[in-house]
Structure 1
């Protein structure tokens, strides 16, 4: 019975009219359960599991199933590498840009022998050549996927930095089509301004003095202001491109977006430190920004040489900016790519010194010194691992049993599936979930736990919907309501309004109800 004491909570289209009984958490269950331990599930969950088992030899039915599966958020996503290659190419043509013989884009005038990007509209062979250079499409076996992957960013980099808003519209629409509701995507805020300030200040081994020099005379405040203005402009372009706030908004307008500030780990110490400060101040001053992350290849000479130094920088800055989240690319390494000793400490240093709350990739886990203790620490401290299967396979050649996915699960380390750079990889999150299910024999309940974890470990402000030991129950305020109910009682509605993370999770529970109603009667 509905009463005036209830408040309406918006859910994904189609979920509101459906029964939500199937979403009552099973005893002992959790939004963060990752160990793969068997649980009975609800009747609706068991029916969906039976259907999934019935289509194991039907690729088309599987693709439809995994596309429809609510998949929460993408927490490891680089905006420039996430946008469609074709869309980036169309922007280059729109800007009148030129392509040199390596297909690297630059602003006109074009040099003799180079070609306008617009030629890709009329020359199909040339278009295929550029797309192959800017992505992993038609990548020839036997060549270095690592080098080809990272080189792609340099080829279209002069396009993407000009079009953050348009790229975001492209990426959020793709997420909405994949039944995802949340995105944390990486950009480099006020990159040129931060570089100029770092060069002006120079390096000081004393972190406190270095920090004080950056803040002197309002210099850092000016860089942060430039970053916020940059974001304001991008937001305006995004809203216009995606028609947000109009009578016909793009589906991507419903996706909640947060920014992660990239730090170029291959740069000089003063630039790395400066970018860290910019990103952490943004995370504390601007709700659109939530965290920082170190990017660029972990195996570069400069990255290896300065790795421990950079972890110490983070350790210090975490005391200055305790509200800024930290997620780190760490352990994106394999034997042969670096010296054996370089495989032994990167994840450990990121967790124990760099204050990482999440780890991106973490592929070299079993090469780390005393890795079992590290895995137990990550499990105990709930340091999640962001796993992009396709990226790991393309860049490092790691897949299947060679991937530490099962090891992390065995030790109870939280896992979230991610795409990394789906535009370059030519895949989507649906593919990653389907790969996980087929390769590691995951059940529907385990896939559902992965999707829930993608919001549980998101850097969304506010409390989680789940509480108790192991996050095994819905919070007290909402325990009398069915999870996902579009009209919860007043106490629950107030809790959801005050806690954006819980509100996102609540919406996902409603999406699961709709999904289980759709697929639970099949097969």
Structure 2
């Protein structure tokens, strides 16, 4: 009798093992791909080569001008006849009325970029420009003591090459930069991108800011009912200005389509990537400018949602204006965006020591609860928030995603490895996507962020795959467009995993199934 019981028990165990093996084997390509990644953790070059063709879904947090590599910006500057101010390696337009043959005027400190980089002697200036426009070879000094300072100072140095205050030139450069980035994304298997760009510059923005100031009268703008300020903007041409900008952006898309020259199968470089813009707002301007730009940007999303998908505040969160007006800004975003304009916000891009402690404990919560942010950019300072666990639970419940830029957090804040909260977010069930932030400034690409997640955070293949799916799920797209992008992503993963599995020898295949079935070497 006892023998029969043992035999029955063994048969039950064998049956359970067999069922488990059958279940695992049904997804053999995925199982094999996950196993292949685990074998490459000790071989970073091969891990990089493995992850490069892996589908990555989307890059939802990228500043277009900061995504472009310095070499391309220098090419723009030379083609546009810009001048280089050699004292601080800053690009500037030629001075008005410069004489023929002296395009940059009599000041010896201003030289034409094309002339400065010409010939073999120009290589030194060229290298200094690349370093000034990026984090390449950055070494702290008395003048620039931190990666934070170097990172944010690059934009003012190369801004003239992206169009500067001239919006017509900005539109031309937006087209060039967009096409460049779409081709880059195509090469590294990114199928969708949301590109942050400033869509209201120059005189139009200044005029609207003056309307806001006039509506406030003798009172500080931050103390005036935002409904009063918005009414003043509408009474002074906001809708017409937005309609005109929407027409310009429609023409921009046509220009981008012409540059891409896509074929029917969309097989040319860059043609396989869908995109939208995010209207970015400088949070460190005067209150009247910030309100006007936020109102204009929110209205533009409503007028041209097929081109501009949402809004975001940009600029260092630790600067004094951003700190002083933070709660006011969040209230303005909540009022102006309402429930129909998608909002992503840089929040918690801070760390202990960078700002006083009382600036660390509410920024992410205010972005979620006051501004209604659907995505949080960076979120590095989550550990310092009041009731962190409660906030994490709220983000999980609301489906508020966090855009993690591992390299950016490292070079700007010095936060890396297990000090970074990515695993905290994952453990709390908060949706996580990986992003580049400013690939050109940081000298990276999105593949690099997947590599860092695997090597520094111990993230396994299933989680990397989930990051790619989350990026599509949390894109600011209509549901029908999301469904199409999900289908594309599923097909891309199926092809990738079949390719990986097809290259594995039989012993490796058996080991992969056993590992998946019984947990050998399981990662996070």
Measured in 1, the distance between the counterparts of 2:61 and 2:206 equals 25
Contact 2:211 2:233 (8 Å CA) reproduced: no
**1:81-160 aligned within 5 A:** 81-101=66-86, 102-108=88-94, 109-110=103-104, 111-118=107-114, 119-122=116-119, 123-141=122-140, 143-160=145-162
Q: Give yes or no for the alignment of 1:436 onto 2:436.
A: no
DSSP-derived class of the 2:78 partner: helix
Q: Which position in structure 2 is the counterpart of 1:208? A: 227
Among 207, 210, 214, the residue aligned to 1:199? 210
DSSP-derived class of the 1:76 partner: strand
Contact 1:85 1:423 (8 Å CA) reproduced: yes
Q: Which position in structure 1 is the counterpart of 2:250? A: 232
Q: Which position in structure 2 is the counterpart of 1:514? A: 495
Residues 323 and 92 of structure 1, relative CA distance in 2, 3 Å threshold:
same
Following TM superposition, by how much is the alpha carbon of 1:438 offset from its aligned partner in structure 2, in angstroms? 0.9
Where does structure 2 lack aligned partners over 5 or more consecutive residues? 1-19, 95-102, 164-169, 505-524
Following TM superposition, by how much is the alpha carbon of 1:223 offset from its aligned partner in structure 2, in angstroms? 2.0
Measured in 2, the distance between the counterparts of 1:190 and 1:449 equals 35
Following TM superposition, by how much is the alpha carbon of 1:144 offset from its aligned partner in structure 2, in angstroms? 0.8
Measured in 2, the distance between the counterparts of 1:97 and 1:40 equals 61
DSSP-derived class of the 2:278 partner: strand
Q: Give yes or no for the alignment of 1:241 onto 2:243.
A: no
Measured in 1, the distance between the counterparts of 2:55 and 2:110 equals 45
DSSP-derived class of the 2:285 partner: coil
Q: Give yes or no for the alignment of 1:272 onto 2:290.
A: yes
Measured in 1, the distance between the counterparts of 2:26 and 2:274 equals 29
Contact 1:194 1:223 (8 Å CA) reproduced: no
TM-score when normalising by structure 1: 0.82
Q: Once the two structures are superposed, what CA deviation does each residue of 1:154-183 show, in whole Å capped at 9, x if it has no partner?
A: 011111133110000111111111100001
Q: Give yes or no for the alignment of 1:341 onto 2:369.
A: no
**1:11-30 aligned within 5 A:** none
Q: Which has the higher helix share?
A: 2
DSSP-derived class of the 1:398 partner: coil
TM-score when normalising by structure 2: 0.82
Measured in 2, the distance between the counterparts of 1:356 and 1:237 equals 32
Following TM superposition, by how much is the alpha carbon of 1:56 offset from its aligned partner in structure 2, in angstroms? 2.4
Contact 2:266 2:272 (8 Å CA) reproduced: no
Of 400-409 and 513-522, more deviation after overlay is shown by 513-522
**1:389-468 aligned within 5 A:** 389-462=406-479
Q: Give yes or no for the alignment of 1:176 onto 2:186.
A: yes
Compare relative contact order (CA 8 Å, sep 6+) and give the higher one, 1 or 2. 1
**1:304-343 aligned within 5 A:** 304-319=323-338, 322-343=339-360
Measured in 2, the distance between the counterparts of 1:86 and 1:195 equals 32
Q: Once the two structures are superposed, what CA deviation does each residue of 1:378-422 show, in whole Å capped at 9, x if it has no partner?
A: 011110000011111011111111111111111111100000000
Following TM superposition, by how much is the alpha carbon of 1:246 offset from its aligned partner in structure 2, in angstroms? 8.6
Contact 1:416 1:454 (8 Å CA) reproduced: yes
Residues 245 and 517 of structure 1, relative CA distance in 2, 3 Å threshold:
closer
Following TM superposition, by how much is the alpha carbon of 1:60 offset from its aligned partner in structure 2, in angstroms? 2.7
Residues 248 and 93 of structure 1, relative CA distance in 2, 3 Å threshold:
farther
**1:356-367 aligned within 5 A:** 356-367=373-384
Among 303, 307, 320, the residue aligned to 1:288? 307
Residues 246 and 514 of structure 1, relative CA distance in 2, 3 Å threshold:
closer
Following TM superposition, by how much is the alpha carbon of 1:248 offset from its aligned partner in structure 2, in angstroms? 8.9
Contact 1:291 1:324 (8 Å CA) reproduced: yes
Q: Which position in structure 2 is the counterpart of 1:34? A: none
Following TM superposition, by how much is the alpha carbon of 1:443 offset from its aligned partner in structure 2, in angstroms? 1.4
Q: Which position in structure 2 is the counterpart of 1:387? A: 404
Following TM superposition, by how much is the alpha carbon of 1:359 offset from its aligned partner in structure 2, in angstroms? 0.2
Following TM superposition, by how much is the alpha carbon of 1:441 offset from its aligned partner in structure 2, in angstroms? 1.3
Contact 2:242 2:303 (8 Å CA) reproduced: no
Measured in 1, the distance between the counterparts of 2:348 and 2:38 equals 34
Q: Once the two structures are superposed, what CA deviation does each residue of 1:111-132 show, in whole Å capped at 9, x if it has no partner?
A: 3232221132431111110000
Among 198, 201, 204, the residue aligned to 1:188? 198
Task: Return structure 1 stretches of 4+ with deviation > 3 angstroms.
Answer: 244-250
Contact 1:74 1:182 (8 Å CA) reproduced: yes
Contact 1:48 1:519 (8 Å CA) reproduced: yes
Q: Once the two structures are superposed, what CA deviation does each residue of 1:342-397 show, in whole Å capped at 9, x if it has no partner?
A: 10100011011111000000011000111110011001111000001111101111
Following TM superposition, by how much is the alpha carbon of 1:254 offset from its aligned partner in structure 2, in angstroms? 2.1
Measured in 1, the distance between the counterparts of 2:388 and 2:264 equals 52
Residues 173 and 121 of structure 1, relative CA distance in 2, 3 Å threshold:
farther
DSSP-derived class of the 2:37 partner: helix
Measured in 1, the distance between the counterparts of 2:406 and 2:424 equals 14
Q: Give yes or no for the alignment of 1:44 onto 2:44.
A: no
Measured in 1, the distance between the counterparts of 2:307 and 2:489 equals 21
Measured in 1, the distance between the counterparts of 2:245 and 2:26 equals 47
Following TM superposition, by how much is the alpha carbon of 1:249 offset from its aligned partner in structure 2, in angstroms? 7.0
Q: Which position in structure 2 is the counterpart of 1:470? A: none
Following TM superposition, by how much is the alpha carbon of 1:284 offset from its aligned partner in structure 2, in angstroms? 1.4
Measured in 1, the distance between the counterparts of 2:344 and 2:265 equals 37
Measured in 1, the distance between the counterparts of 2:113 and 2:252 equals 24
Measured in 1, the distance between the counterparts of 2:189 and 2:208 equals 41
DSSP-derived class of the 1:262 partner: strand
